[in-house]
Amino acid sequence: MGLKSSPYNTVQGFLIAEEWFRGDPGSPVNVFRWDFLRLNLPGSIDYQPHLPWVSKVRSDDGKIANDFVTYVEDTRTCGGSLQDAWWASRVVASRLNWLGIEDAARKRRDPSQDPGPWAGSVVHISTNGAISLTVTQERWEKTKRIILWIEEEMKGSDTIEFKTLERHRGFLIYVGRTYPVVIPYLKSIHLSLDSWRPWRKDDGWKMTQVEINHVLRERNTEQAPSESEAPARVRWVPWLVEDIRALKLFTAAEKPPHRLVRPCAGTMWSMHLEMPLEVVLEE
């Protein structure tokens, strides 16, 4: 609406609405009822890797309570059974409509353990109950194309196109939400995009204040250079070569790997990454 505080007001209003959606947790007729919090923290004597770290549990059947999660403007409900998931969705949708908040029923899906991509990731539940995260094949192929593009750009010049690399960085950061292992190897991309800024070393890192003061004394000046707009092409930092090599190694598989989030009961590692044998050995 043009108000500076509108994002704050919107988020605050919806959080208040969420409290009403969940209702009284002690009411036996509340679909989101729960009786106690179960802490299953790593390091505990009775830690169970197939259970969530923190969960709301119902005493009558011992199941994890129904719940819902909101990401930006998209809400997903979950339940311990098909009926529970459907009923939780019905409660959230009806109360959204009562408040005048739009609920696009045409976009609603039937309860499923394989709901497809959401917030950049695809949740996969195997037959033995293990839960993993992956990305779509299309997103995986695009990731590989981006890495190859950066590699080809480095072969032809010591500079790289700024705007294209900036767009690709945003996509790779999104992929890093599913595969946190790639995040450290994006640092050289960040440094390359900032290599045009003043007070940068040859390796891309910013000088310390002591180093900046030393340079100013050598130049016999107290004025720092001002930042201008980024050029069309920027110098890529030397260790981008090694980071791209690591990213190529990770994306060598034809299909996107599955990152284990929660193993099945009774075993710590019930799934393996769908990666070539040579990749596993090299890692």
Each residue of 126-168: pLDDT tens digit? 877 788 899 999 999 999 999 999 999 999 888 999 999 999 9
Helix (H, G, I), strand (E, B) or coil at 159: strand
Summarised one tens digit per residue, pLDDT across range 176-228 is 999 999 999 999 999 999 988 888 888 888 888 887 777 777 776 665 555 67
Residue pair 249/282 in contact (Cβ under 8 Å)? The answer is: yes
For residues 77-89, give the mean pLDDT.
90
Question: What CA–CA distance (Å, rounded) separates 24 from 69?
Answer: 18
Evaluate the CA torsion angle 204, 206, 211, 215 in order and state its sign: positive
pLDDT over 60 at 71, yes or no: yes
Kindly indicate the confidence band of residue 6, based on its pLDDT and cuts at 50, 70 and 90. confident
The confidence band for 278, taking pLDDT boundaries of 50, 70 and 90, is very low
- For the chain, the distance separating the N- and C-terminal CA atoms, rounded to the nearest angstrom, is 51
Quickly tell me which residue has 């007001």 as its tokens.
9
In sequence order, what are the residues at sequence separation of 6 or more whose Cβ sits closer than 8 angstroms to the Cβ of residue 268? 49
Query: Is the pLDDT reported for residue 280 higher than 70?
Result: no
Q: Is the pLDDT of residue 274 over 50?
A: no
**Is 271's pLDDT higher than 80?**
no
What's the maximum distance between 2 C-alpha atoms anywhere in the chain?
A: 77
The arithmetic mean of pLDDT across residues 9-17, rounded, is 87
Residue 185 CA to residue 164 CA, distance in Å, equals: 18
Residues 31-55: pLDDT tens digits?
999 999 999 999 999 898 888 899 9
What pLDDT was estimated at residue 267?
53
**Could you tell me the two tokens for 140?**
């995986």
Do residues 160 and 234 touch, judged by C-beta distance below 8 A? yes
Mean pLDDT (the chain) is 84
What are the domain boundaries of the chain? 6-112, 137-282
Per DSSP, helices labelled H in the chain are: 6-22, 82-99, 137-156, 162-178, 187-193, 209-219, 240-250, 277-282
- Residue 269, pLDDT > 50, answer no
**pLDDT reading at 118 higher than 80:** no
